[in-house]
Amino acid sequence: MKVFVLTGAGVSAESGLGTFRDKDGVWTKYDLNEVATPQGFARNPALVRDFYNARRANLAEARPNAAHEALARLEADLAKRGGELFLCTQNVDDLHEKAGCRRVIHMHGELAVTRCHHCEATWPDKGPLKPDTVCAACARDGGARPHVVWFGEIPLFMDQIEDALSAADLFVSIGTSGSVYPAAGFVAEARAMGIATCEINLEPSANAYVFDEKVYGPATEVVPAWVERLLARL
Ligand code: OAD
């Protein structure tokens, strides 16, 4: 069985990383136009670096939770049975990897990676983004930005994602509000291809009506139980 799982901020909420659109979410406290667009970075790079430096500091403290661990178990168990998990995340944290997932597709980039705005070179970097960092590839300074896909930029790995989606037997969306495209459109694509679909979230998402199966509750409770049910069925 090939399972395509799409995760969002809700899977990391119980690890202490905030979601975006819930009450007290990141986008209720910050203007996304100022901190998550290329235009915002051009206007005020210091503000943008400060915002992502605070998020890097939060991430350093965060540990994977039972939902991340259950998905790592699902990846390993499916592989043992000749199946496959394609784990596509909108999250820029590394908690799936910390839980032991071997292949994670970060369609919105990675917080702990720095990208040079001048030449697009990337490098792993958990420390603060600084204005005077010199890029090892192009030798220019002033270009250090997070390797995060901002509004108006194209998500990463889309060809790979489309191939995996069309090959899947089951599409599962976990902890996402279904507000940001193209990820929010995957369920409709899956359904149009006749693939079974399941939503796991704290509450019905914007796309809830499109899913065949729905499971609601905190990710740390409902994801491990769902993984057990799925593996028992195979
Ligand atoms: P949102 O904040 O839009 O949605 C989070 C979803 O998680 C909501 O539907 C919540 O109900 C649900 N949720 C909250 N706590 C939960 C819990 N403990 N268990 C299960 N579900 C829970 O976050 P995303 O959908 O991930 O993009 O947002 C998509 C994109 O918008 C992000 O990747 C980010 C943001 O702008 C970039 O930064 C590029």
- Give the domain ranges of the chain: 1-16+64-108+155-234, 18-61+113-148
Distance 32 CA to ligand 1 centre (A): 14
Q: For ligand 1, what atom is nearest to the CA of residue 67?
A: 19
The closest of 219, 226, 228, 233 to 64, measured between CA atoms, is 219
Query: Residue 24's pLDDT is what?
Result: 92
Rg (CA), the chain: 18
CATH topology of domain 1-16+64-108+155-234: Rossmann fold (3.40.50)
**pLDDT less than 70: residues of the chain:** none
pLDDT of residue 64: 98
> What confidence tens digit (pLDDT) does each residue in 22-39 have?
999 999 999 999 999 999
Question: What is the pLDDT, as a whole number, of residue 149?
Answer: 98
CATH for the stretch 18-61+113-148? 3.30.1600.10
Q: For residue 161, give the nearest of 28, 50, 5 by alpha carbon.
A: 5
pLDDT at residue 162 in the model = 98
- Check residue 167 and give its pLDDT: 98
Catalytic machinery residues = 108
